[in-house]
Amino acid sequence: MAEKEIEIKVSNLSVGFHLHGQESHVIRNVSMDIYKGETFAIVGESGSGKSVFTKTFTGMLEQNGFISNGSIIFEGRDLAKIRTNKEWISIRGRKIATIFQDPMTSLNPLLRIGYQLSETLKLHGNQLQKMHDELVSKELVALRLAEEDYYQELKAIAQEQQNAIKNLKKENPGIKNNDSKIKEIKLVAKQKCNEAKEKLNKVRPQLKADYKASNKAATEKVREFKNNVLAEMRKEMSEAKANGASRKELIDIKEKHKRRLKVTNRQAKAEAIELLRKVKIPNPEQRYRDFPFQYSGGMRQRVVIAIALACKPKVLICDEPTTALDVTVQTQILQLIKDLKKEYEFTTIFITHDLGVVASVSDRVAVMYGGQIIEYGTVEDIFYQPAHPYTWALLSSLPQLANDGDELIYIKGNPPSFGKEIVGDAFAPRSDYAMKIDFIKEPPMFKISDTHYAKTWLLDPRAPKVKKPKLIRNMEEKIHNTMNSMQQKVGEADATRK
C-alpha cells in the first residue's frame, strides 16, 4: 500500500456496560488506525468484543453501554463524544453504514423493497440540507468540543471530590458530613468547577458567534443556490414553452433542475432500480414491487447492501454479513462487496468468525480477544507469520487448513468473563504457551515489523523460543489452496447464475 491516509483513528478506547448494578469492561484500551479505502477484518471468538467495538463508530451501543475512555476521530470529529441521536443522524448510515448478519435488522417486513430503497434515496438526497451541513460543520464541531471538554472536566472534578471524601472517611471512621475537612474538600471542588466554567466562558461566546455567523452565511448561500436553480428552471421552461414543447418535455426539464435540489419520486425509483441491478437482483423492475418475505436470504442481504450504498457512505461496516448464508451465496455476497468497493471506494470493516473469509477479502486483519486487539497486521502477516498463541489457536481450528488425517485443535476453556478485572494476558489461562509473567502483567504491543504487531510476552527478548503448532506451519501453501477453492466457488456460482 502506498502512503496511507487514516479514515478512523481509535485511541485508548474503553467501553463498559452497566449490568445488575455492576460495571463490566468489554473493550479495554484499544488503539487502532483504520486506513482510507482498505478492507480491515476483525476476527475473534464470540464475545471478544468485535461488534461492541464497531458499534461505537455509529452510536449503536445499547442503553446500558457507555464509552468510559478514549477517542474515535473521524473527519476531525471525536465520535466518542457524541451524545445525542440528532448528531448521530448525520453520521450513522450517511457516512458510516452497517450491515448485519440478519438482513431483517435493516428491513421493514411490511413495506415493499422498492419503497424502502427509494425512501432512503429521498431521505439522503436533500442536496440543500447536505450543503448547509457541510458549510457549518467546522464551527459546530469546535463549539461542541469546547462544551464537551467542560463536561469532562466537571466529571473529573466530581470524581476527585468523591474519592477524597471516601479516603477521608476511611481514615476517620465516624466523621460527619458537616465536618470542616469535608466542607473544605467540597469548597475546593466548587472552586475548580467555577474555574472550569470561567475557562469555557472565555471561549464559548466567540465560538458561538462563529457558529451563528457561519450558519447565517450558509443559509444565505443555500438560498442563493436554490433561487439560481429555480430561476434557471423557469427560464428554460418558458423558452421550451415558447418553442411548443410537449407536457412531457416540460416535466423533464423540471425534473432535471429539481434534481439538483432534492431527489424526486421518479428519480428515486429509477435510482432504486439501478441499485437493485447493481447488487445483482434479477428483474429489478418487477422485484422492486415485492415485499421482503418474497426474497431469499441472500437476496435480502443484497437489498440491505443496496440500501447501505444509497447514502454513498465512506465506511461500510459488515458485521458477519454472510454467516447465515449457505456457502455458495456467501461467496457471491463477498464478491459483490468486493466489486462495489471498487466502484464506490468505501473503507470496509469486516467482522467475521471465518478466517477463510478473511483471507479472501481483507487487506489487514485485527485479532480480538477479551476486549482487546491482541495482534494485527497484513493478511500475510497474520496467516503466514502469526505471533500470538491465540492467533495460533484460531488458525489451528480452521477446518479449511486441515489435511486428511490432521487433527483440528479446538481452543480449550472459555473466553474471559468481563465481570471481574482481567490480570495479565487475558488468554493465559487457556494458552499452552503461558509463562509466569502472563498471569501477572499485561503484555505491551510488541512491534514485529512496520505492519505487524502483537501483544504477547513471547515477543519479549527474554522469552524462551517456542515453536508454533504443527498444523499452522507452511501456511502459505494451505492458504493458497483455500483461496483457490473459494475463487473456484465464486466462478461456479457466477456460471450457474448466467
Ligand X SMILES: Nc1ncnc2c1ncn2[C@@H]1O[C@H](COP(=O)(O)OP(=O)(O)OP(=O)(O)O)[C@@H](O)[C@H]1O
Tell me: does residue 51 bind ligand X (CB under 6 A): yes
Residue 2 CA to its chain's centroid (Å): 23
3-state SS assignment for residue 94: coil
Q: Which does 370 bind (CB under 5 to 8 A by kind): ligand X, Mg ion, none?
A: none
CB nearer to Mg ion: pick between 121 and 426: 426
Render the burial of 203-240: b for 16+ CB within 10 Å, e for the rest.
eeeebeebbeebeeebeeebeebeeebeeebeebbeee
CB nearer to ligand X: pick between 47 and 103: 47
Tell me: does residue 377 bind ligand X (CB under 6 A): no
Compute the least distance from the CB of residue 65 to ligand X, in Å: 5
Residues near Mg ion, by CB under 5 A: 51
Tell me: does residue 421 bind ligand X (CB under 6 A): no
Give the binding range for ligand X (CB under 6 A) out of 45-53, 149-157, 197-205, 449-457.
45-53
Among 138, 127, 103, 396, smallest CA distance to 261 is for 127
3-state SS assignment for residue 386: coil
Q: Which does 59 bind (CB under 5 to 8 A by kind): ligand X, Mg ion, none?
A: none
Q: Residue 22 to residues 19, 80, 426: CA-CA distances in angstroms?
A: 5, 22, 20
Tell me: does residue 56 bind ligand X (CB under 6 A): no
The number of beta carbons lying within 10 Å of the beta carbon of residue 178 is 7
Tell me: does residue 298 bind ligand X (CB under 6 A): no
Bridge partners (DSSP) listed for residue 6: 35
Compute the least distance from the CB of residue 105 to ligand X, in Å: 13
Tell me: does residue 49 bind ligand X (CB under 6 A): yes
> Which residue blocks in 279-378 are alpha helix, DSSP H?
284-287, 297-310, 327-344, 355-361
Compute the least distance from the CB of residue 101 to ligand X, in Å: 8
Compute the least distance from the CB of residue 87 to ligand X, in Å: 21
For the record, the C-alpha cell of 262 comes out as 432534492
Q: In what order do the strands lie in the sheet with 6-19?
A: 22-35, 6-19, 65-74, 77-78
Rounded to an integer, what distance in angstroms lies between the CA atom of residue 274 and that of residue 264?
Answer: 15
Give the binding range for ligand X (CB under 6 A) out of 43-51, 146-154, 173-181, 199-207.
43-51
Tell me: does residue 52 bind ligand X (CB under 6 A): yes
Give the binding range for ligand X (CB under 6 A) out of 39-47, 161-169, 285-293, 386-394.
39-47
Place of cell 472550569: 196
Q: Which does 112 bind (CB under 5 to 8 A by kind): Mg ion, ligand X, none?
A: none
Compute the least distance from the CB of residue 163 to Mg ion, in Å: 35
Tell me: does residue 47 bind ligand X (CB under 6 A): yes
Q: Hey, what long-range contacts does 470-473 have (CB within 8 A, 24 or more apart)?
A: 471/395, 471/396, 471/401, 471/402, 471/406, 471/407, 471/408, 471/409, 472/386, 472/392, 472/395, 472/396, 472/401
Compute the least distance from the CB of residue 26 to ligand X, in Å: 4
Compute the least distance from the CB of residue 49 to ligand X, in Å: 4
Both ends of the chain: CA-CA distance in Å? Answer: 35
Contact map string, positions 336 to 355, toward ligand X, x by CB under 6 A: -----------------x--
Q: List residues binding ligand X (CB under 6 A).
A: 17, 19, 26, 44, 46-52, 62, 64-65, 353, 418
